[in-house]
């Protein structure tokens, strides 16, 4: 059967793409069971018990749409950050918000600057709206601020994406460098500063909220998917000047949020003691992952995230063999997608049982591919 004839030329040209192949697809494709799910940077430590209770209590009202203004969550975020509700936009995860920002700015062949090998879902949105990706390579496994700025100036780009801390390498820049980068950008270029891993980063790496809030060309993205343990609930938010956050109302899905998710996010935000406990567990898990790597002759990289990138010391084929070999033992991990980053594997912080499986399987896998 032939394809419907009136899709746009752009859509007709685009390949079907899934930026991240999920463990469920791997299980279906291989007929294998994922026993240790430590590849998607989720939090196996789970959400606050108060968030789970809020989910259960809100479930009885699931027949109702969520408040299209997301008033409760905006108010909770405003109180948490000592800002105004108007400084926030709520979306179905950061991925949704990234797509909306791209839609706001990108037309056919609009230049958009990012790092080569950086977060692929952002690229997916840019390509989907006809934009032209302009990339600069990582330097010493960190996103290159000077390279990004040079690309913006050279291309007169209206949009630049920067993740700090970074996915997939776990590296970071100090807050002063981020603020200087933001202020050096032309006022005609919007910075999307993805801070999905802000909770796990050193305090010195994350600019104070008031350091960027008055810049009219900065949107900061944060999420409840990582340290808060609510990846499946899909709750992200943008922080910025009210004039910018209000633009989301022009194009967002006003009934896209789920009542139970909003309730869980509010409860999770209120339980900062639980968050601190999880952060301690993440730190312990990362230390163990690093030790396991070193015990097997591999080099863990410093990480400000909830995962550890591990330099395998060879090429992408070798790293891929490790990823595939671990999956044969039921251990799901991932690896960066492009050279030279793809010499590494990436292991998410996980509970003790998951890391036990990883520690047992890794030496067997390495021995099998020598």
CATH class of 49-271: alpha beta
Quick check: 225 and 198 in contact, CB under 8 A?
A: no
Q: Dihedral (C-alpha) 94, 99, 100, 105: value to the nearest 10 degrees?
A: 130
pLDDT at 1 over 70: no
Quick check: 211 and 175 in contact, CB under 8 A?
A: yes
Quick check: 312 and 318 in contact, CB under 8 A?
A: yes
Beta-bridge partners for 220: 193, 239
Burial class (CB in 10 A: 0-12, 13-18, 19+), 306: buried
CATH class of 9-46+273-368: alpha beta
Express each pLDDT in 65-101 by its tens digit: 999 999 999 999 999 999 999 999 999 999 999 999 9
In the chain, domain spans: 9-46+273-368, 49-271
H or E segment to which residue 327 belongs:
helix 316-328
Which pLDDT does position 18 carry in this prediction? 80
User: Which residues neighbour 23 within 8 Å (Cβ) at sequence distance 6 or greater?
Assistant: 34, 37, 39, 40, 332
Handedness of CA 173, 179, 180, 182 (dihedral sign): positive
H or E segment to which residue 27 belongs:
helix 23-30
User: Which residues neighbour 66 within 8 Å (Cβ) at sequence distance 6 or greater?
Assistant: 255, 257, 258, 259, 261, 262
pLDDT at 30 over 90: no
Read off the tokens for 124: 């997916």
Express each pLDDT in 135-194 by its tens digit: 999 999 999 999 999 999 999 999 999 999 999 999 999 999 999 999 999 999 999 999
Express each pLDDT in 256-313 by its tens digit: 999 999 999 999 999 999 999 999 999 999 999 999 999 999 999 999 999 999 999 9
């Amino acid at each position: 059967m032939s394809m419907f004839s009136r899709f746009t030329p752009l859509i007709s040209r685009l390949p079907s793409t899934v930026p991240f192949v999920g463990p469920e697809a791997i299980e279906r494709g291989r007929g294998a069971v994922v026993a240790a799910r430590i590849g998607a940077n989720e939090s196996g430590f789970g959400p606050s018990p108060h968030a789970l209770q809020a989910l259960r209590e809100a479930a009885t009202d699931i027949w109702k749409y969520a408040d299209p203004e997301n008033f409760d969550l905006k108010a909770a975020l405003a109180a948490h950050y000592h800002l105004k509700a108007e400084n926030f936009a709520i979306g179905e995860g950061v991925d949704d918000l990234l797509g909306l920002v791209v839609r706001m700015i990108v037309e056919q062949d609009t230049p958009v600057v990012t790092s080569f090998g950086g977060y692929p879902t952002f690229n997916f949105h840019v390509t989907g709206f006809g934009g032209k990706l302009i990339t600069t390579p990582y330097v010493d496994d960190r996103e290159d601020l000077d390279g990004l700025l040079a690309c913006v100036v050279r291309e007169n780009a209206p949009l630049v994406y920067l993740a700090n801390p970074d996915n997939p390498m776990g590296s970071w820049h100090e807050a002063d460098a981020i603020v200087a980068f933001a202020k050096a950008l032309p006022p005609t270029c919007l910075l999307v500063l993805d801070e999905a891993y802000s909770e796990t980063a050193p305090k010195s790496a994350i600019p104070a909220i008031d350091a960027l809030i008055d810049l009219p060309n900065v949107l900061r993205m944060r999420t409840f998917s990582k340290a808060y343990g609510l990846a499946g609930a899909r709750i992200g938010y943008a922080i910025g000047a009210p004039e910018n956050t209000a633009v989301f109302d022009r194009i967002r899905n006003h009934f896209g949020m789920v009542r139970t998710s909003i309730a869980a996010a509010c409860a999770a935000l209120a339980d900062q003691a639980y968050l601190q406990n999880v952060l301690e567990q993440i730190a312990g898990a990362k230390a163990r992952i690093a030790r396991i790597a070193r015990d097997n002759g591999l080099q863990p990289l410093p990480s400000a995230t909830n995962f550890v990138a591990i330099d395998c010391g060879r090429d992408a084929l070798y790293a891929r063999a490790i990823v595939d070999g671990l999956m044969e033992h039921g251990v799901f991990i991932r690896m960066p997608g492009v050279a030279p980053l793809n010499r590494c594997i990436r292991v998410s912080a996980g509970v003790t049982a998951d890391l036990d499986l990883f520690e047992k399987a890794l030496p067997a896998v390495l021995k099998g591919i020598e």
